[in-house]
Chains A and B, each alone.
Chain A
């Protein structure tokens, strides 16, 4: 049906209202022609013959009279094809790299459908990232959603690149692995940094890149992660690939959501974000996972910058409730020159308990991890005490803790951007650090584990 509607009833921020529309359906796409240029929009509310449309390219230059709108009869769909690998697309999935059209094998509604929980496969396969703090203490599992909580000025981008480069996901054979990268509201040089890094590590032709840059329309940002995940689902469940999805920056996404919500005149909840922020974020994050009967998997690493480094801000807070853990970067570590500046205490991987230990990594892994956490938590107490009474006044055991804390940060957490440690190295290093403390302090270890690993074998004594 090619009915065109002339003019608009109202324009407010990124939203326009079209009146007198017949046969519109909810979330249907609309093409709006302004002079010679065509813009895309989506119906987000219908009331009788009035439709509220969010315009992806923004409403600049639109007046009540200079537009013609046409309903496209379908919701926003993402064209899908293996040719997408190696391509760069804009925020709503149109190629922007000048390499020509993509001929889709099929296309799918970008909203996807909820995965049936009974068809999920519980994720258990360990992904070695070669970063001690992650592998040892916040283990990443294939099919997990593990966000990076960062702040402005912290090296979250390097960390993401290092994970992509070193993740043993690549060892499954190059045929079987892909990266879907979605940039939302990031600066051009950040997007370019990622592209160059992918190129340097030779994976660029396995990457699908979505780019919604900081000066691109805000509304586009709402659909960017959904387009990206639709591609990821296609690669994982139709083509059996292991897909790593990087979404950056989720804060920009949530802010876009707030902007649209407020132009719609919705009632805000905390900090002005809409009441459905949780459900909306969940509809993105829950698209990670593994399913029964499919070889492929979707592992998500969303990156978000915590406004004012506040972990209780609604965006990191709601994210933490949905994702399976979090990697928290800390400014204080960065100031001390520690890379990666991961603060392990508030960090967590919920899935690691089932993907480590005997048969997965090494039998002592859960014990070492538990003890390192507990001992490092104790270091914080001792430090607080030392800042009051001075390090000199501490008891001998507490002094050992101070030393353990320093060594742990400088040797276990800190590592070079190029350094790729195996899980065995990481665990051995963990034991080496635990040996700095007397046996009685290791209350999370069972006696047999202590006997087996804590005591230094005679033959190795010379090494320390």
Chain B
């Protein structure tokens, strides 16, 4: 049988190699290619030839070198040691690669995914005699100060615990529990393996009625995202996709963040690595890095691993979901992943569909986004995976295939706008092109947890913005002087909303994250003022008088002037603004 698990290289074209001499390879099986044992994956099987994509640079490979079968699909190791780490696209730890090969990543550096020497303090939950099912917790490990890592029975295994170690220090390879299922005995350790392309199982899905609070006003208020939902951030270059992703990774109220840098800049990974350990999670008071795992397959790293990085990321996310955590995965950017598909497809000489992308692009995208969800796990806990995918449309044109197909599978669409970015209006989320289909399902949560009138106020704010949009078309033609005063007031108020509410400064200590309560109060102040001003205008007060009072400027500066932890200032502000309007009214009546 020895021979049947070997093949030899016959052809080489970039990351794609053709293998002959063995037709027992399975589809999507992981193989080791050449004398350097580069990691590859079977992507096509013919009668005479097998096609393998290689996750590393293929320079120097020769026909005739061996290709060894491993008999299992591309898998990741799941266990303590994942959080706080930086991996490449196939879960190899970049820090340890750096210790071994210096500043450059040399190929063929096979190594353990997780540290095998580290001893973890394990608290046992399973006792001999217990009957355990798949997903059940058998032990606990404090992975970081913020994360308790639950050791679970791997999917597909059940039975009676016949042996269990006591609490103590163990490494990831040691057997901590033996489970007997009929005649088979399973040795369970702190790690399990899972094929990346296969979704991990759960008990059943739950409705998406809890928002993922991000502290970003335009998102939380106008286009909210649900825990377990899927969102896309499309935008041309320089519109702030990565900045928005970083903001979400920093402030979203998820327990675990998986950040996948897929085919993007190396310095962006570096930036996260420098920033996150310094930033403090407002909920736990611990560094953000203690709940974050990074997967960095930058644009200059091998293209096939870029394709895998998305799956590696989502598998890690699902694993933590199974423990009952809310996990958010940021994929920056899914376009690079789609392009990796296209590149491999091109080398296979497949018949292309739109713009050279393979015809299976939509099905791959839908498979990926469908792995988001809020679920009840087998162990009765509830967890969620929320996907936020950046899309980099070519030429900023949203009609290209990746954006269009993504739109079909996500229900939250935060469209970034070049024109807004040019005026340095960040986040450059365009409020007319964006949408969230979750609003309806989340409205109850907002009424109960934020304020009963939250959704009402939000609708009013949207209406003013919509009206502005219409009026601006007129202004572009004839100038704003001709407009009647009620409409001028709409324009002024909309300006205050845009600059004071929608615009948010990621580099300002207070403004970078705004609690939902303050978001409500800000809307409230703006609308109160607007409604009173409407009354004044209706009795003939010119808008220019209100404008000169400086009230709009005060509304715009709420975000800086009122701190996040002291809302009493809102009352003062509302009183002050009211007084200004009253004075104007009195003056006018005289």
| Residues of chain A whose beta carbon lies under 8 Å from any beta carbon of chain B | 23-28, 44-49, 75, 109, 111-123, 237, 266-270, 274-276, 278-279, 282-283, 286-287, 289, 291-294, 311-314, 317-318, 320-322, 324-326, 345-346, 348, 350-351, 353-354, 366, 370, 373-374, 377-378, 384-385, 388-389, 393-395, 440, 443-444, 446-447
Contacts and interface: CB of A to CB of B under 8 A. Distances in A.
A117 B270 contact: yes
Contacts of A109: 59
B188 interface: no
A26 B12 contact: yes
B104 A385 contact: no
A278 B560 contact: no
Contact of B303 (A111, A279, A317): A279
Contact of B266 (A44, A117, A266, A278): A117
B315 to A, nearest CB: 21
Contacts of A270: 355-356, 394
A353 B507 contact: yes
B349 A46 contact: no
B388 interface: no
B238 A114 contact: no
A350 B271 CA distance: 12
A112 B104 contact: yes
Contacts of A378: 423
B395 A111 contact: no
Contacts, number: 224
A146 B301 CA distance: 21
B265 interface: yes
Contacts of B342: 269, 275
A100 B300 CA distance: 35
Nearest to B59: A27
Contacts of A314: 394-395
B522 to A, nearest CB: 16
B57 interface: yes
22 contacts: A24-B63, A27-B58, A28-B60, A45-B12, A115-B300, A116-B98, A116-B102, A116-B103, A117-B261, A118-B269, A120-B266, A122-B274, A267-B350, A267-B352, A269-B342, A275-B356, A278-B263, A312-B394, A318-B394, A345-B423, A388-B479, A395-B479
Nearest to A447: B557
Interface string B55-71: 00111111110000000
Interface in B443-494: 475-481
Contact of B296 (A117, A121, A351): A117
B190 interface: no
B105 interface: yes
Nearest to B300: A286
B582 interface: no
B128 interface: no
A276 B300 contact: no
Contacts of A353: 507
Given A26-B61, A117-B270, A278-B336, A48 B10 contact: yes
Contacts of A350: 238
Nearest to A378: B423
Given A119-B102, A267-B349, A275-B339, 8 more contacts: A24-B62, A44-B13, A45-B12, A116-B98, A116-B104, A117-B273, A118-B95, A389-B478
Interface residues of B, number: 83
B103 to A, nearest CB: 4
B511 to A, nearest CB: 11
A385 B478 CA distance: 7
Contacts of A317: 236-237, 394-396
B374 interface: no
Interface string B259-285: 001010111011101100000000000
A111 B424 contact: no
B395 A120 contact: no
A286 to B, nearest CB: 4
Contacts of A377: 422-424
Given A275-B356, A443-B556, A118 B94 contact: yes
Q: A276, A366, A378: which has the most chain B beta carbons within 10 Å? A: A276
B303 A276 contact: yes
Interface in B286-316: 296, 298-303
B507 A266 contact: no
Contacts of B103: 115-116, 119, 237, 291-294
A346 B263 CA distance: 23
A325 B300 contact: no
A135 B316 CA distance: 43
Given A27-B59, A317-B237, A446 B560 contact: yes
Nearest to B242: A350
Nearest to B394: A317
A283 B479 contact: no
Given A47-B11, A322-B299, A443-B499, A122 B265 contact: no
B13 A388 contact: no
Given A121-B270, A346-B422, A370-B424, A268 B59 contact: no
Interface of B: 10-14, 18, 57-64, 86, 94-95, 97-98, 101-107, 236-238, 261, 263, 265-267, 269-271, 273-274, 296, 298-303, 336, 339-340, 342-343, 345-347, 349-350, 352, 355-357, 392, 394-397, 418, 422-424, 475-481, 499, 507, 550, 553, 556-557, 560
Contacts of A49: 63
Given A312-B397, A374-B423, A275 B343 contact: yes
A283 B105 CA distance: 13
A48 B63 contact: yes
A117 B479 contact: no
B106 to A, nearest CB: 6
Contacts of B107: 113
B392 to A, nearest CB: 6
A207 to B, nearest CB: 25
Nearest to A366: B507
A432 to B, nearest CB: 21
Contacts of A440: 550, 553
A123 B265 CA distance: 13
Contacts of A112: 104
Contacts of A322: 265, 299
A47 B10 contact: yes
Contact of A120 (B64, B95, B270, B303): B270
Contacts of A345: 422-423
A270 to B, nearest CB: 6
Given A25-B61, A279-B299, A45 B13 contact: yes
B104 A289 contact: no
Contacts of A389: 478-479
Nearest to A276: B343
Q: B95, B238, B560: which has the most chain A beta carbons within 10 Å? A: B238
Contacts of A385: 475-476, 479
A282 B299 contact: yes
A91 B370 CA distance: 49
10 residue pairs, one from A and one from B, having the closest CB atoms: A312-B395, A269-B356, A282-B299, A320-B237, A377-B423, A286-B300, A113-B104, A47-B11, A117-B269, A120-B270
Contact of B238 (A289, A320, A351): A320
B300 A282 contact: yes
Contacts of A291: 103
B339 A286 contact: no
A239 to B, nearest CB: 14
Contacts of B86: 117-118
A313 B106 CA distance: 34
Given A48-B10, A393-B479, A287 B339 contact: no
A286 B550 CA distance: 48
B571 to A, nearest CB: 21
Contacts of A120: 266-267, 269-270
Contacts of B557: 447
Nearest to B356: A269
A267 to B, nearest CB: 5
A342 to B, nearest CB: 14
A117 B97 CA distance: 11
